[in-house]
């Protein structure tokens, strides 16, 4: 298949591009490298020494004989270039990773909130509008988030996108209806993914676009079968207070000998998936296609759920690291339960890599190997959800 990967220079996009290329797909990466510019803005670099996209692509073709094309393009800001590219490549599928994906970064300031909304909503809408304008039958695979469901404890296993409800009308008759599961985003970033959901629902219903929305949990790990092949293919490993996600941060903190930063009591339960599984799921989604049904194919891309405190204890048991309960910068429930279905990806062949496997050790080894590149001053999360949270943190 011909596949365009929007955001293919990022943490999930780069290993997904390699996974698809190694399975004989013709891959074009599109990226505007804003994530690398954000590293400069925040004054922190990936723990691992990631190479330029050109160097990465050259290394891959040298090692495997497989070429990956690349285009520097802003999906949110250059609609004319986007339509020209889509008309030229006529992809069978596109994978859309090209969004600002950090919740803390999205809450830093009014300008970060506005950037996140402008970038994410326009990126998604430009892609959908361009496919309709060109009349292309391209399958859109989007990386969404489990966060669209919100983190209230629900007495059900969360469904995959759509939800059956029944209600009594004014005459006392009962009706059944399928709706998108009500969203309850916890940050401006998660809010943009909720808006994306509505865009997808509309374009699937109105224009018969074939769309798969992967509601992904928190990705942990840093390497995949392909990125391990050569140091020049190494993947990004974020550990800072904005882009570092919880388990990867704990692993780096343990490797650096600093306490594990549990926000509040650590009773927050979240869904997780290893990076290797994530890239496999993306390939399974691309290869399985999607039919025109007037509705979006939503799949929960997760393998297990854990609360933050349990993860900290697991990492502490393996490494001896101390655990610190820090003031929570976020406006989120201290404790929640979470259980969600993932039957669609299991049916496609997902064979979950669980936390007990050796991959925790691999991430720890990488964190130790590049520990001298870490900047300890960038570990605390200093993006507060509101002034009350900021005051709470400074009172500590």
By CB under 6 A, name the one of 46, 216, 235, 303 that touches ligand NAD.
Answer: 216
DSSP string, 182-249: PP--SSHHHHHHHHHHHHHHHHHHHH---EEEEEE-EEE-S--TTGGG-GGGPPP---STTT--HHHH
Residue linked to tokens 């780096």: 252
Q: Binds 75, which of ligand USQ, ligand NAD, none (CB < 5 to 8 A, cut-off by type)?
A: ligand NAD
Which helix (H) or strand (E) segment holds residue 120: the answer is helix 110-134
What is the C-alpha separation between 338 and 166, in angstroms, rounded?
23
Q: CB under 6 A: which stretch of 94-102, 348-356, 361-369, 376-384 binds ligand NAD? A: 94-102
In sequence order, what are the residues at sequence separation of 6 or more whose Cβ sits closer than 8 angstroms to the Cβ of residue 173? Answer: none
Q: Is 193 annotated in the active site?
A: yes
Q: Which of 189, 203, 370, 384 is catalytic?
A: 189
- CA 236, 239, 245, 248 torsion: positive or negative? positive
Q: CB under 6 A: which stretch of 7-15, 105-113, 222-230, 317-325 binds ligand NAD? A: 7-15
What is the C-alpha separation between 340 and 146, in angstroms, rounded?
9
Residue 293 · residue 212 · CB < 8 Å:
no
Q: CB under 6 A: which stretch of 26-34, 154-162, 225-233, 260-268 binds ligand NAD? A: 26-34
Q: Which of 105, 116, 138, 193 is catalytic?
A: 193
Using DSSP's 3-state secondary structure scheme, residue 295 falls into coil
Q: Binds 282, which of ligand USQ, ligand NAD, none (CB < 5 to 8 A, cut-off by type)?
A: none
Q: Is 315 in the site for ligand NAD (CB under 6 A)?
A: no
What tokens appear for 69 in the block? 């094309």
Residue linked to tokens 């296993």: 157
Q: Is 184 annotated in the active site?
A: no
For ligand USQ, the closer CB: 3 or 340: 340
| Site for ligand NAD, residues 47 to 86, rule: CB under 6 A | 74-76
| Site for ligand NAD, residues 235 to 274, rule: CB under 6 A | 236, 245
Q: Which of 116, 124, 138, 145 is catalytic?
A: 145
By CB under 6 A, name the one of 5, 7, 383, 385 that touches ligand NAD.
Answer: 7
Q: Binds 57, which of ligand NAD, ligand USQ, none (CB < 5 to 8 A, cut-off by type)?
A: none
What is the C-alpha separation between 263 and 282, in angstroms, rounded?
31
Phi, psi of 60 (to 5 degrees): -65, -45
Q: Is 19 in the site for ligand NAD (CB under 6 A)?
A: no
By CB under 6 A, name the one of 5, 218, 271, 299 that touches ligand NAD.
Answer: 218
Q: CB under 6 A: which stretch of 39-47, 96-104, 107-115, 333-341 binds ligand NAD? A: 96-104
Q: Binds 13, which of ligand NAD, ligand USQ, none (CB < 5 to 8 A, cut-off by type)?
A: ligand NAD
Positions marked catalytic:
145, 189, 193
């Amino acid at each position: 298949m011909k596949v365009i990967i929007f955001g293919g220079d990022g943490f999930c996009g780069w290993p997904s591009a390699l996974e698809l290329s190694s399975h004989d797909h013709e891959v074009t990466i599109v990226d505007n490298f804003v994530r690398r510019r954000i590293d400069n803005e925040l004054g922190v670099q990936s723990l691992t020494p990631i190479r330029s996209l050109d160097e990465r692509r050259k290394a891959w073709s040298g090692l495997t004989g497989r070429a990956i094309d690349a285009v520097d393009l802003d999906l949110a800001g250059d609609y004319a270039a986007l339509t020209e590219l889509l008309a030229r490549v006529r992809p069978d599928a596109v994978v859309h990773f090209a969004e600002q994906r950090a919740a803390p970064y999205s809450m830093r300031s009014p300008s970060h909130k506005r950037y996140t909304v402008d970038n994410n909503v326009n990126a998604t809408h430009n892609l959908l509008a361009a496919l309709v304008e060109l009349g292309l039958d391209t399958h859109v695979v989007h990386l969404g988030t489990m966060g669209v469901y919100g983190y209230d404890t629900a007495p059900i296993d969360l469904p995959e996108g759509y939800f059956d409800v029944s209600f009594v009308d004014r005459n006392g008759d009962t009706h059944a209806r399928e709706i998108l599961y009500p969203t309850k985003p916890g940050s401006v970033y998660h809010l943009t993914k909720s808006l994306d959901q509505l865009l997808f629902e509309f374009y699937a219903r109105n224009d018969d676009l074939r769309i798969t929305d992967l509601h992904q949990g928190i990705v942990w790990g840093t390497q995949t079968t392909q990125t391990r092949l050569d140091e020049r293919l190494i993947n990004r490993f974020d550990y800072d207070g904005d882009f570092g996600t919880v388990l990867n941060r704990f692993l780096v903190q343990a490797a650096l000998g600093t306490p594990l930063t549990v926000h509040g009591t650590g009773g927050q339960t979240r869904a997780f998936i290893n990076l290797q599984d994530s890239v496999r799921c993306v390939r399974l989604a691309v290869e399985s296609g999607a039919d025109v049904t007037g509705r979006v194919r939503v799949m929960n891309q997760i393998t297990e759920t854990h609360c933050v405190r349990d993860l900290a204890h697991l990492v502490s048991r393996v490494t001896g690291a101390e655990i610190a309960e820090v003031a929570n910068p976020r406006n989120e429930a201290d404790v929640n339960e979470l259980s969600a279905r993932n039957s669609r990806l299991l049916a496609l062949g997902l064979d979950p890599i669980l936390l007990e496997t050796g991959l925790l050790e691999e991430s720890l080894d990488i964190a130790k190997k590049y520990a001298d590149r870490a900047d300890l001053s960038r570990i605390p999360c200093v993006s507060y959800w509101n002034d009350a949270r900021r005051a709470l943190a400074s009172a500590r």
